[in-house]
């Protein structure tokens, strides 16, 4: 197992990519703190991990709230003894074109996608520095490199995530902490499944591999970057987009 003996915190682990990442990490031997703002979902996910013979705790967290984040990191360390891996996956959208975007839409997305990643990473990095090892993985997006119509706020946060990833890789490398990001393109989620066939076909056509990513594709990228196989990779933004942008 590729994460045998490791411990991980995954934010936004109640559903979607975060849930799949938590399940994948647990299957590969990691003890996982399943963290999300939605309490019901995390209980289900951590129960599923335990039913499969893995180790997990469910912890409610609001990544925008520094006290709540501190509690999460303390609880993970207290329960598992260490914090080896953090996946900053929690993220939201509140789309509107520049000329129509409300201040509240801007603030909410910045708060979760940017400040949330800062909050969790700062708290976890303190523990990782003491351990003299750790891996921080951030959820970026191809939108963070190429922009997207209607996503001023979201693009700004993912661009910011890329900047923080590279900055922290430089700052934390001397403590044996690696920092990387995964940048998905289009992913099959409950949201995309409901889209009209025409839109889905158009999205698939944009990828040279003529498909959308599955949540497993993204979780596998996190797994690779968290594992020993990636021991010499840091400061990298790994696109998992089937070649939407080359
Ligand atoms: P999702 O909406 O299915 O799941 C996000 C999770 O984050 C939810 O469980 C939600 O409760 C949680 N969350 C929201 N606000 C929170 C907060 N303040 N504190 C703690 N948890 C909070 O999202 P999905 O699609 O799985 O995306 C996950 C990440 O991947 C996001 O950062 C997203 O920006 C990124 N991404 C997703 C793509 C996609 O096509 N689904 C494409 C590119 C990037």
18 lines ligand 1 (CB under 6 A): yes
Specify the residue for token string 């090892």. Answer: 133
> Closest ligand 1 atom to the C-alpha of 62?
19
Whole-prediction pTM: 0.98
> What is the CA(3)–ligand 1 centre distance, in A?
23
Specify the residue for token string 């399940």. Answer: 23
Catalytic annotation, pick one of 146, 154, 188, 222: 154
Compute and round to an integer the Cα radius of gyration of the chain: 17
> Would residue 154 show up in a list of annotated catalytic residues for this protein?
yes
Instruction: Using most ligand atoms within 8 A of CB, pick from 16, 88, 109 the residue to mutate for ligand 1.
Output: 16
116 lies in some domain: yes
140 lies in some domain: yes
Ligand 1 atom 42, closest CA: 184
Q: Give the H or E element holding residue 36.
A: strand 31-36
154 is in an annotated binding site: yes
Label residue 36 by pLDDT band (50, 70, 90): very high
47 lies in some domain: yes
92 lines ligand 1 (CB under 6 A): yes
In the chain, which residue ranges form alpha helices assigned H by DSSP? 16-27, 39-51, 66-80, 103-110, 116-131, 143-146, 152-172, 190-193, 197-206, 215-226
205 lies in some domain: no
59 lies in some domain: yes
199 lies in some domain: no
Residue partners of 136: CB distance under 8 A and separation at least 6: 85, 86, 88, 121, 124, 125, 128, 168, 172, 177, 178, 179, 180
121 lies in some domain: yes
The predicted model gives 12-38 an average pLDDT of 98
Ligand 1 atom 7, closest CA: 12
Tokens encoding 87: 């996946």
Label residue 192 by pLDDT band (50, 70, 90): confident
Residue 172 near residue 128 (C-beta atoms within 8 A): yes
CATH number of the domain that residue 113 is part of? 3.40.50.720
81 is in an annotated binding site: no
Cα diameter, the chain: 52
58 pairs with which residues across the strands? 34
C-alpha to C-alpha distance for 241 and 230, rounded to whole angstroms: 20
Query: Residue 65 — φ and ψ, nearest 5°?
Result: -105, 110
Describe the chain by its helix, strand, coil percentages, rounded to 5: 50, 15, 30
> Closest ligand 1 atom to the C-alpha of 16?
26
Structurally, how many domains does the chain consist of? 1
82 lies in some domain: yes
Ligand 1 atom 19, closest CA: 62
163 is in an annotated binding site: no
The complex's ipTM works out to 0.99
Expressed as residue numbers, the domain containing 180 is 6-187+213-240
Q: What pLDDT, in 10s, does the model give residues 92-150?
A: 999 999 999 999 999 999 999 999 999 999 999 999 999 999 999 999 999 999 999 99
> What is the CA(174)–ligand 1 centre distance, in A?
30
149 pairs with which residues across the strands? none
């Amino acid at each position: 197992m590729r994460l045998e003996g490791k411990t991980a915190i995954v934010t936004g682990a109640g559903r979607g990519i975060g849930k799949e990442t938590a399940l994948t990490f647990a299957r590969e031997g990691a003890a996982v703190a399943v963290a999300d703002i939605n309490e019901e979902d995390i209980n289900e996910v951590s129960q599923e991990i335990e039913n499969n013979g893995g180790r997990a705790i469910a912890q409610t967290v609001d990544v925008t709230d520094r006290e709540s984040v501190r509690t999460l990191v303390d609880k993970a360390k207290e329960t598992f003894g260490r914090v080896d891996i953090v996946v900053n996956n929690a993220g939201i959208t509140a789309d509107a074109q520049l000329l129509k975007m409300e201040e509240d839409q801007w603030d909410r997305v910045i708060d979760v996608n940017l400040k949330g990643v800062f909050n969790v990473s700062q708290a976890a990095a303190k523990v990782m520095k003491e351990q003299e090892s750790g891996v921080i993985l951030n959820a970026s997006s191809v939108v963070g490199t190429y922009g997207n119509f209607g996503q001023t706020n979201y693009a700004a946060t993912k661009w910011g995530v890329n900047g923080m990833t590279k900055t922290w890789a430089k700052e934390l490398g001397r403590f044996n902490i690696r920092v990387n990001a995964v940048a998905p393109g289009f992913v099959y989620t409950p949201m995309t499944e409901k889209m009209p066939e025409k839109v889905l076909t158009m999205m698939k056509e944009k990828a040279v591999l003529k498909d959308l990513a599955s949540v497993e594709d993204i979780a596998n990228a996190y797994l690779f970057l968290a594992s020993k196989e990636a021991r010499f990779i840091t400061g990298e933004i790994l696109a998992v987009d089937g070649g939407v942008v080359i």
